[in-house]
Chains A and B, each alone.
Chain A
Amino acid sequence: MNIDNSKVHMGIAHMQFLFKQMLRIRRFEEKCAELYTQEKIRGFLHLYIGEEAVAVGVMQALKAEDAVFATYREHGHALARGLSMDKVMAEMFGKVTGSSRGRGGSMHIFDVEKRFYGGNAIVAGALPLAVGLALANKMQKKNDVVVCFFGEGAVAEGEFHESLNLAQLWQLPILFVCENNGYAMGTALAISESERHIFRKAQSYGLKSHAVDGMNVVEVESAATQYCQRIRKGDGPCLLECNTYRFRGHSMFDTQLYRESDEVEAWKRKGPIMKLQRWLEANGKLSSAELKQIEDQVADEINQSIAFAERSEIEDISDLYLGVYGESES
């Protein structure tokens, strides 16, 4: 495979770090799927399996002050952004120790300390919010970046077009990241978009935009880093289209009538984790002992998060009305 780590001066240690981050998300979500069948996790569960390179790659370009908006498929983004796995797991268990006190569940993970603004389950619902946060940054003369992740399905909503226009019109410090996995639930891109290159839509609004291989974490990181540098300089918004694929169903209910298993298998062979693992191994940078060590560390962290979620309390019913309104400014 072709991994070009020269553009961003990526060291081997960093590549190993990227590998571990992706593996953490993969193993975490595999466990979530199990916990879902055990009914520990309820509601809707949307897995990011196959798409890990996008969140992990983009997060590398961000600083602590930057803000992140994501969708209902956001476990990976939350973990890559540095939220504690304990809190994320507890949220999915609906426990009061969860990142949103258990109120949100899998689709609504929030952690404002990490400047992680959710967890939005209305398709395209977060784009205008992200634009607004970028506007606030600009008004307060901050050059922090706002990143907004969304699927290619969101591109059909009016909010997408309104948001891109506003961002460009007002020259806002925002990076839009389109996770193009080819399907919006069961609707293939080919039957939902007249222009199938999302980056061209962004270009038509005047944004700087191009597409990358979303299965290649190095390529994603490198592109996101260059865009963020641009945005920080005040050169206006950008959109990065990441071509990727979800290996699992849309949610745990999906019977996947709309795609052939051959197609899924073909994409799995291009998987982001496998790809990087092979490269590291081929370059003598990941021995089987090192791999085992990473797997063990990841497994420990996951087991610990489950234990934490299990022993955490559920919220008292008398606190039902908590968090409907806040306190006024004094």
Chain B
Amino acid sequence: MKNQSLTYREALKIAISEAMRNDERVFLMGEDVGNYGGCYAVSKGLLEEFGADRIIDTPLSESGFVGAGIGAAIGGMRPIIEVMTVNFSLLALDQIVNNAATLRHMSGNQIGVPLVIRMATGAGKQLAAQHSHSLENWYAHVPGIKVLAPATVADARYMLSMALKDPDPVILFEHVMLYNDSAATPKPEDCPDMHQACVRKAGNDISLITYGGSLSKTLHAASELEKQGISAEVVDLRCLRPLDTQTLFKSVDKTHRMIVVDEGWRTGSLASEICALVAEHCFWSLDAPPSRVCSKEVPIPYPQHLERAATPQVAQVVEAALTLLNRDVT
């Protein structure tokens, strides 16, 4: 049989419908998930299959319906809440940080919140300064929630079911530039446990650490480096909280050099955290200071050339790697 291919978008949809078929407690709720088919068309067709009781179009009330998702999780349901983008999730930040993240601890471990929140993130579509943020690190800062960044079709296909089995709130970040990516139909074994980081390309000279929408750029940079005789290892973090430090440290201990590629703004970024961890734990095996390729400290501008200049690009990763390896930047 010919191996069919699947897009990232389709993989997410299959994952949602599978979860809904397997577990009656699962439902999908968010703005335009039903009649419109999802703002990025992930849930197109699900309303017809599952009906309006389980594919719930909400009013524009992010704080309200995310909070209601938390309540429903407490009440025994397994909600999947879709917030269109991370930018709009800021309206629900209070519910996520002050309720979802805290209830278990604050109640003395009486109340768990088994909730999955999906949202799009990132730049690249010229949507300007209110639609292009990468704020994964804001959520990864908060104890009590878990943060996932599926960067491959396989992860899009299988991470959701893992997230739904988790006893705690899990946020899934879907980078906007990934939805049309396609790959051969994945198998469950293509998706390791959601808490694990993954070596996407093995190498010996330098570790390139990344996640989400930056993975493909980083892999591209690694193949550029390969042409120059440099063997780069690419680590996809996958889970941004809790971080799989074991895989991270193992890679850095092997290559002795590290660059983090992160679409978040540099100051206070996930990249900062990873650099600090590596400095603390791998200091004696480092041959060069840890380095970062992040977004420039500017709200994302609309014009294409400025949007590109503001966000990490392949050439910058290559240049940073050459610099760390004391190689001439061509």
Contacts and interface: CB of A to CB of B under 8 A. Distances in A.
Interface in A116-135: 120-125
A121 B130 contact: yes
Interface string B23-66: 00000000110111101000000000000000001111111100
A321 B57 contact: no
B1 interface: no
Contacts of B37: 186, 255, 257
B131 interface: yes
B304 interface: yes
B57 A157 contact: no
Nearest to A319: B306
B299 A187 contact: no
B297 interface: yes
Contact of A320 (B58, B87, B88, B309): B309
Interface stretch (B112-120, B121-129, B217-225): B121-129
B35 A320 contact: no
B36 A258 contact: yes
A110 to B, nearest CB: 12
B126 A43 contact: yes
A122 B88 contact: yes
B31 A187 contact: yes
Given A44-B131, A122-B88, A321 B35 contact: no
A313 to B, nearest CB: 11
A153 B60 contact: yes
A157 B60 contact: yes
Contacts of A158: 61, 63-64, 91
B32 A186 contact: yes
A104 B128 contact: yes
Contact of A324 (B32, B131, B299): B299
A154 B61 CA distance: 9
B302 A108 contact: yes
Contacts of B39: 185
A142 interface: no
A102 interface: yes
Interface string A255-278: 101100000000000000000000
Contacts of A125: 130
Nearest to B35: A258
B247 to A, nearest CB: 34
A187 B57 contact: yes
A120 B128 CA distance: 11
A43 B125 contact: yes
A324 B61 contact: no
Interface string B53-90: 00001111111100000000000000000000001100
B305 interface: yes
Contact of A317 (B87, B297, B305): B305
B306 A187 contact: no
A104 to B, nearest CB: 6
A103 interface: yes
Where chain B touches its partner, the secondary structure class is loop
Main secondary structure of the interface of A (DSSP, over half): loop
Nearest to A151: B60
A42 B304 contact: yes
Given A42-B126, A122-B88, A186-B32, A154 B309 contact: no
A307 to B, nearest CB: 19
Given A94-B302, A314-B303, A43 B32 contact: no
A283 B129 CA distance: 48
Nearest to A107: B128
B26 to A, nearest CB: 21
Nearest to A250: B36
Interface string A156-174: 1110000000000000000
A200 to B, nearest CB: 16
A186 B302 contact: no
B317 to A, nearest CB: 18
B40 to A, nearest CB: 9
A80 to B, nearest CB: 22
Nearest to A186: B36
A287 interface: no
A192 interface: yes
A281 interface: no
A184 interface: yes
A315 interface: yes
A1 interface: no
A61 interface: no
Contacts of B129: 103-104, 108
Contacts of B305: 314, 317
Given A108-B128, A185-B36, A321 B302 contact: no
A139 to B, nearest CB: 28
B192 interface: no
A157 B61 contact: yes
Given A94-B303, A186-B35, A324 B297 contact: yes
19 contacts: A43-B128, A102-B303, A103-B129, A105-B126, A105-B302, A105-B303, A107-B130, A122-B88, A153-B59, A153-B60, A156-B59, A157-B91, A185-B32, A187-B57, A188-B35, A192-B58, A258-B35, A258-B36, A321-B296
Given A108-B302, A184-B59, A186-B36, 18 more contacts: A43-B128, A103-B306, A105-B126, A107-B131, A121-B128, A122-B88, A153-B60, A157-B61, A157-B62, A185-B32, A193-B59, A257-B35, A314-B305, A315-B306, A320-B296, A320-B310, A321-B298, A324-B299
